[in-house]
């Protein structure tokens, strides 16, 4: 029987996700490649030969699932004034929680949102935005759907 595969430290249920090696790996990977199997293969793990503990697998799966829920879908930070531009009074635009007026969304962020699996039309009638702890979140009704779109800087 194979020895247990050694995952890079730190690893453990008491380690915050952001400090795990797998989290750092996720940050550098294309979104559609992020998964436990690809992570393990990047470390030289061979299916059928190597094994990991059920606890380590659960930690990896939980961290990756959480990454997909909260990590921005646009790879680099964006100036707030480039992400959202004010529109003229009366013109259609997106509502942004805590900001006056309405705004247009940069086309590249609109595409990133669509690529993030946003199932709603990216239009003011279905989507609004909120900035929470430096991340621009796209939202559709508070309890139905949200995506961390990008990190914003002033």
Render pLDDT for 95-110 as a digit per residue (tens, 0 to 9).
999 999 999 999 988 8
Render pLDDT for 36-70 as a digit per residue (tens, 0 to 9).
999 999 999 998 899 999 999 999 999 998 898 88
Same domain, 41 and 94: no
Residue written as token pair 């952001």: 18
**How confident is the model at residue 117, as a pLDDT?**
74
The predicted model gives 3-15 an average pLDDT of: 88
Distance between CA 124 and CA 104 in Å, rounded?
9
| 121 is a domain residue | yes
Same domain, 57 and 88: no
Distance between CA 43 and CA 56 in Å, rounded?
14
151 or 142: which carries more pLDDT confidence?
151
By residue range, what is the domain housing residue 138? 78-153
**How confident is the model at residue 40, as a pLDDT?**
96
| 85 is a domain residue | yes
| 111 is a domain residue | yes
Number of domains in the chain: 2
């Amino acid at each position: 029987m194979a020895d247990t595969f050694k995952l890079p430290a730190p690893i453990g249920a008491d380690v915050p996700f952001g400090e795990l090696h797998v989290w750092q790996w996720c940050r550098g990977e294309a979104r559609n490649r992020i998964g436990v199997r690809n992570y393990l293969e990047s470390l030289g793990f061979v299916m059928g030969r190597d094994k990991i503990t059920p606890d380590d697998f659960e930690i990896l799966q939980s961290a990756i699932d959480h990454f997909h829920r909260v990590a921005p879908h646009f790879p680099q930070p964006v100036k707030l004034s480039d992400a959202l531009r004010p529109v003229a009074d009366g013109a259609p635009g997106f509502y942004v929680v805590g900001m006056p007026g309405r705004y247009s969304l940069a086309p590249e962020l609109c595409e990133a949102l669509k690529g993030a699996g946003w199932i709603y039309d990216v239009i003011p009638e279905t989507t609004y935005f909120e900035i929470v702890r430096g991340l621009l979140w796209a939202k559709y009704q508070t309890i139905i759907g949200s995506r961390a779109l990008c990190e914003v800087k002033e």
